[in-house]
Structure 1
Amino acid sequence: MSLCTINDSGVELDFNPELRFPGSLVDGRVSINLATAARKGFTVVTAELIAEVKTRVDEDKLSQPLTFNEQHTLVSSKSVLWTADARTPPESTIITAPFSFLLPDRQLPPSFLYEGSDASASIQYYVKIVANKKAWYKSGLKIYRSFAYLPFGEAVQYPLIHAPRRIVKDHLMLRKGVMFGGMGKVEGEFSLPDVTSLPLFQDIPFSLRIRCFSKPLPESQSSNPSLFTFPLPPSSSDQIDMSLLSLSNLAAQKHWKRVQIKQGSIQGFSKQTKSKCSDHYVVEPLRGNLSWVRIGDSRQGRWCQEVMFNSTLHLKCPPTFDIGLLQTSYHIQIRIPFPGVGNEFSMTVPLARISSGMSKSTHDIAHGMLDLPPSYWEVAESDNQSTVSSEPSESR
């Protein structure tokens, strides 16, 4: 989809903010109303391709707040589109000036944005159109348009449903009363493909098994399953909070912050209607029968029931990266509340490196779009020139 920035300044930008990769073409067109440009005193119009990294860290030193900023340019290219003394047909009122840039073939970090109260970080890719006036101190015009960028990454060589599985386990002992009564038990087991990297925009199968055990009961109760009332396994996926979290380390002038960012809820696991991983739906579990489990050689046992949830991840987050002053990794966090004070089962599942899964030969195949915060598409620069920024708008 090609989007046109409309304004009354005499300069309009037509640009497609599609997802781009190493070596991709970044092109568009700028329309210039010659009469309006002359009236406003524009003497030159340029196009720029920019990619930059920005970080901010706030610290409180001896009750004195300090802010540290750091900025690095990854890509900067510029092209002159029009000058006031350029020859144009006398009958022309509007001219169209095309521009094009090539992104480097080398791997650059993916588009990224985090904004927190005491830290922020961004990796932004954008084009900038500048209309300058002859006098440097007079305000001109700037137009921004962002686009998302992904580096190439390891591609999946076979269907992930056939890959061997990696299993993560955890458990919780809990009682319904605050201080008294026997302890029940909850066991969680999460399995997903045991691969070196997980791809974006593809279905990644996973299973979540929850086993719930009653408090210890005498063997005489082994034929009375009605006694099993706590803890009962969840009956549907919307009783489970499963989230994709990113852990980021960021630095500005050698001052570090470690932040955790909730990317969104996993497909149907929570009451949210939309997530960054996929649209909402409810996953129905496979429910096992109640069974009696004897405790060692004692004359006691526990009633047990398990449920199994089978579903898929569909990742749209920026892939894992490390550029020194900014690093990210990902994990899944699972929380299941049970009746009683503090009775919440929780487990963390570290994820393998997340990759774009794209290569030079496959990146033109239909794929999704990175899920980035709305503010990614807004460019902010500290100068006194007027700006036009429309969504999607900024960064490379």
Structure 2
Amino acid sequence: MFSRLTSSSALTVYIPPAIYAAGSTIDGEVQIQFRDLQDENIEEVQLRLRGTSKTFINRDRSSMWENIRLARVDSTLWSKGAAYPPAGSDVLRVPFSVPLPEQLPPSFHMHVFAAKGDIRYSLSAVGVRKGLLNLNRRHVVPLAVLPRDELGAQLKAEHATHGWKAFQKEDRIRKGFWGDYSKVHVELSLPSIPVLPLFSDIPFTIRITTTTPPASRSKADASPSDKPLFPPVPLLPNGIQFSLLRKVRLRAKMFTDRSSKDVAVFLGEKKSGQPYGCAGPVETVPPVKEWVEVGSALVQDEKAKEEGKEAGSDAKGSWVQRAVFHSTFRLDCPPTFAVHNIECSHQLVVKVPFPGIGNDLKLEVPVTVTSGIDKPLPRDSQSVSKDGEPAQPPPNLDLPPAYWDASDQDWAGDEKD
């Protein structure tokens, strides 16, 4: 009963729209409407900063909750008889400056079947009323908060050209249950940097190589020219799946829960509710088949190498095909983090589908996603770039509408503290 949230027409919090960095300061003001203040019998106006990490897990007919306090700052802005509006006005404006703690995890929200976890921050103007039965009145402003990330911010500011690091996966596949094996190979190249900062264009290159089973050149040439080679390489960028996978571990006292979800899809089939697409155009190198004799093929077959030592035009070899896709991606999801009851990690996943059961090739690359900011990031849509051209859209941290619900009863958990 006492946790029910009641809004107030007497109080309004104004702060600049921004994504706030841990350790930064939130400057703003609270406007107090004195006529409504008196009507609502408010004795005192407090400013409350709150940050919590909450989990909920249901198992069969049992449920567990776990709440961890991350931030709590209280200050009194006004008390009855202390100050009044200027002459001719009913509005008193009270400025404030609230520091955020230095070490904070990012704003976060996830909800799957029978489990929920969130990290939420808010700034509230609370009109305190006397008596347990007189609920306080408040105006709640949810906050987007990210950890301070000096390394990521430096990488973004330098705009440096870094070297590349490559991650590879290789396998053997065949059309059916019998027959010779073909080779498939995928490589993902990323900038040689230790972290992937948010709100930054990150280049990538995906190379896919397929090698047919070794055969004599005469046998290879005897195949119909209109018959596609196996394995085929993707012709278009959407022929492969490239995504960012989020893995979450929740703990609520003695219960634990694990889940995974694609939080961004850069190439391939889009699923409902996911950010989709690359930050820039996709450059494609058209695949061309190349005959490579055994002994020099990208993926060699030792048995065929011994059998293919004969010289001449009938020497054994393989058709090698390569496809290359190059573009950039931009991340706006909550970064990698771990607190007592929530752990969040990320992987970049490249999946290349090939015909046949179980022939898909998947490359998984663990990555550390960081905030990329060391100070508040304004979300002013009127900003312009240095050359006077329109800037990119203001950054937006990907959080569901439930995070921003100012009427959520959870915000009133400190009703009569």
- What TM-score, normalized to structure 1? 0.81
Instruction: Give deviations 1:217-238, integer Å, cap 9, x for gaps.
Output: 4431344572443322111111
CA distance in 2, matches of 1:159, 1:224: 53
CA distance in 2, matches of 1:140, 1:210: 62
Structure 1 residue 241: Cα displacement? 1.5
- Residue 114 of structure 2: which of 94, 107, 118 is its match? 118
Asked whether 1:311 is paired with 2:320, we answer: no
Aligned to 1:390: none
CA distance in 2, matches of 1:87, 1:11: 15
The answer to whether the 8 A contact 2:13-2:124 is kept is no
The answer to whether the 8 A contact 1:128-1:143 is kept is yes
Asked whether 1:213 is paired with 2:211, we answer: yes
Could you tell me which runs of 5 or more consecutive residues in structure 1 were left unpaired when the two chains were aligned.
1-6, 388-396
Structure 1 residue 356: Cα displacement? 2.6
Structure 1 residue 122: Cα displacement? 1.6
Structure 1 residue 279: Cα displacement? 5.5
Aligned to 1:283: 282
* Partner amino acid, structure 2, of 1:285: T
Q: Tell me whether 110-119 or 85-94 shows the greater mean CA deviation.
A: 85-94
Aligned to 1:174: 173
The answer to whether the 8 A contact 2:206-2:325 is kept is yes
- Residue 81 of structure 1: which of 68, 72, 77 is its match? 77
* Partner amino acid, structure 2, of 1:98: P
1:42 partner SS: coil
- Residue 356 of structure 1: which of 371, 386, 390 is its match? 371
CA distance in 2, matches of 1:292, 1:383: 66
CA distance in 1, matches of 2:178, 2:253: 53
1:229 partner SS: coil
CA distance in 1, matches of 2:14, 2:170: 56
CA distance in 2, matches of 1:250, 1:206: 31
CA distance in 2, matches of 1:243, 1:184: 26
- Residue 397 of structure 2: which of 365, 370, 374 is its match? 370
Paired residues in the alignment total 370
Change in Cα spacing, 1:184 to 1:194, as seen in structure 2 (3 Å) is: same
The answer to whether the 8 A contact 1:160-1:204 is kept is no
Aligned to 1:239: 239
**RMSD between aligned alpha carbons?**
3.2
Identity %, equivalent residues? 30
2:305 partner SS: coil
Structure 1 residue 103: Cα displacement? 1.4
Correspondence 1:260-279 to 2 at 5 A:
260-266=260-266, 268-271=267-270, 276=275
Instruction: Give deviations 1:147-205, integer Å, cap 9, x for gaps.
Output: 21222222455656432x3322223433445x455444321111223332222222222
1:220 partner SS: helix
Q: Tell me whether 293-302 or 69-78 shows the greater mean CA deviation.
A: 293-302
Structure 1 residue 34: Cα displacement? 2.0
Change in Cα spacing, 1:207 to 1:160, as seen in structure 2 (3 Å) is: farther
Change in Cα spacing, 1:363 to 1:14, as seen in structure 2 (3 Å) is: closer
The answer to whether the 8 A contact 2:349-2:362 is kept is yes
* Partner amino acid, structure 2, of 1:231: P
The answer to whether the 8 A contact 2:279-2:327 is kept is no
The answer to whether the 8 A contact 2:262-2:274 is kept is no
- Residue 197 of structure 1: which of 195, 198, 202 is its match? 195
* Partner amino acid, structure 2, of 1:249: R
Structure 1 residue 214: Cα displacement? 3.2
Correspondence 1:314-329 to 2 at 5 A:
314-329=330-345
CA distance in 2, matches of 1:188, 1:368: 32
Aligned to 1:95: 92
Aligned to 2:312: none
Change in Cα spacing, 1:172 to 1:107, as seen in structure 2 (3 Å) is: same
The answer to whether the 8 A contact 1:238-1:282 is kept is no
CA distance in 1, matches of 2:199, 2:103: 20
- What TM-score, normalized to structure 2? 0.77
Aligned to 2:230: 230
2:395 partner SS: coil
Aligned to 2:300: none
Change in Cα spacing, 1:228 to 1:217, as seen in structure 2 (3 Å) is: farther
- Residue 330 of structure 1: which of 338, 346, 353 is its match? 346
The answer to whether the 8 A contact 1:272-1:280 is kept is no
- Residue 185 of structure 2: which of 184, 187, 196 is its match? 187
Change in Cα spacing, 1:22 to 1:287, as seen in structure 2 (3 Å) is: same
Change in Cα spacing, 1:54 to 1:382, as seen in structure 2 (3 Å) is: closer
The answer to whether the 8 A contact 2:53-2:120 is kept is yes
